[in-house]
Structure 1
Amino acid sequence: MTSLHADHYADNLVQLRSPLVTNRCVARDTFLCRIDAPEIAGAVIPGQFVMIRMAQHDAPLIGRAFAVWDIINDDSGSPRFIELIYLRKGTLTRALASAPVGTPMDVWGPLGNGFAARPCDRLIMTAGGIGQTPMLLLGKEAIGTTDFGREHGWANHVEIIYGARTAELLAGVEAFRTAGFEVTVCTDDGSTGQTGRVPDVLATRLTELKDTGTTRVVTCGPEIMMQRVSKVCDQHGVDCQVSMETPMACGIGICFSCVAKIRQDDPNQPWDYKRTCVEGPIFDSSRVHWDD
Structure 2
Amino acid sequence: MSKLHADHYADAMTQVDAAIIENELVGEQTYRVRLAAPAIAASVVPGQFVMIRLKGLNSPLIGRALAVYDVVSDASGDPHFIDLVYLKKGVLTTALAASQVGTEVTLWGPLGNGFSNRTCDRLIMAVGGIGQTPMLLLGQEAIGSRTFGLNRDSGWATSAELIYGARRSSLLAGVEDFQAAGFDVTLCTDDGSVGQQRLVPDVLADRLRDIPPGTSVRVVTCGPEIMMQKVSQACAAAGVDCQVSMETPMACGIGICFSCVAQVRQDNGEWDYKRTCVEGPIFDAEKICWE
* Alpha-carbon distance between aligned partners in 2 of 1:112 and 1:84, rounded to the nearest angstrom: 16
Query: Within the alignment, does 1:272 sit opposite 2:272 as a pair?
Result: yes
Give the RMSD, CA atoms, in angstroms: 1.0
Secondary structure of the 2:7 match is helix
Amino acid across the alignment from 2:12: N
Greater Cα shift, 201-210 or 214-223: 201-210
Amino acid across the alignment from 2:144: G
* Alpha-carbon distance between aligned partners in 2 of 1:119 and 1:5, rounded to the nearest angstrom: 25
Greater Cα shift, 141-150 or 122-131: 141-150
Secondary structure of the 1:136 match is helix
Amino acid across the alignment from 1:209: I
Secondary structure of the 1:56 match is coil
What do the CA deviations read for 1:238-292 (whole angstroms, capped 9, x no partner)? Answer: 000000000000000000000000001224xx1000000000000000000002x
Residue in 1 that maps onto 2:241: 239
Deviation at 1:6, TM superposition (A): 1.4
Q: Give the TM-score taking structure 2 as reference length.
A: 0.97
Residue in 2 that maps onto 1:197: 199
Amino acid across the alignment from 2:100: P
* Alpha-carbon distance between aligned partners in 1 of 2:89 and 2:216, rounded to the nearest angstrom: 38
Moved over 6 A (4+): none
Residue in 2 that maps onto 1:99: 99
Amino acid across the alignment from 1:155: A
* 1:46-61 aligned within 5 A: 46-61=46-61
Residue in 1 that maps onto 2:131: 131
Amino acid across the alignment from 1:165: R
Deviation at 1:199, TM superposition (A): 0.2
* 1:165-204 aligned within 5 A: 165-204=167-206
Deviation at 1:105, TM superposition (A): 0.1
Amino acid across the alignment from 1:14: T
Amino acid across the alignment from 2:173: A
What do the CA deviations read for 1:209-258 (whole angstroms, capped 9, x no partner)? Answer: 14150010000000000000000000000000000000000000000000
* Alpha-carbon distance between aligned partners in 2 of 1:87 and 1:147, rounded to the nearest angstrom: 27
Q: Give the TM-score taking structure 1 as reference length.
A: 0.97
Secondary structure of the 2:251 match is coil
Secondary structure of the 1:161 match is strand
* Alpha-carbon distance between aligned partners in 1 of 2:91 and 2:201, rounded to the nearest angstrom: 31
Determine which of 195, 201, 208 is the counterpart of 2:210: 208
* Alpha-carbon distance between aligned partners in 2 of 1:216 and 1:243, rounded to the nearest angstrom: 14
Deviation at 1:107, TM superposition (A): 0.4
Listed as ranges, the gaps of 5+ residues in structure 2 are: none
* Alpha-carbon distance between aligned partners in 1 of 2:189 and 2:47, rounded to the nearest angstrom: 24
Listed as ranges, the gaps of 5+ residues in structure 1 are: none
Query: Within the alignment, does 1:226 sit opposite 2:228 as a pair?
Result: yes
How many pairs align?
286
Residue in 2 that maps onto 1:17: 17
* 1:11-50 aligned within 5 A: 11-50=11-50
* 1:130-169 aligned within 5 A: 130-148=130-148, 149-169=151-171
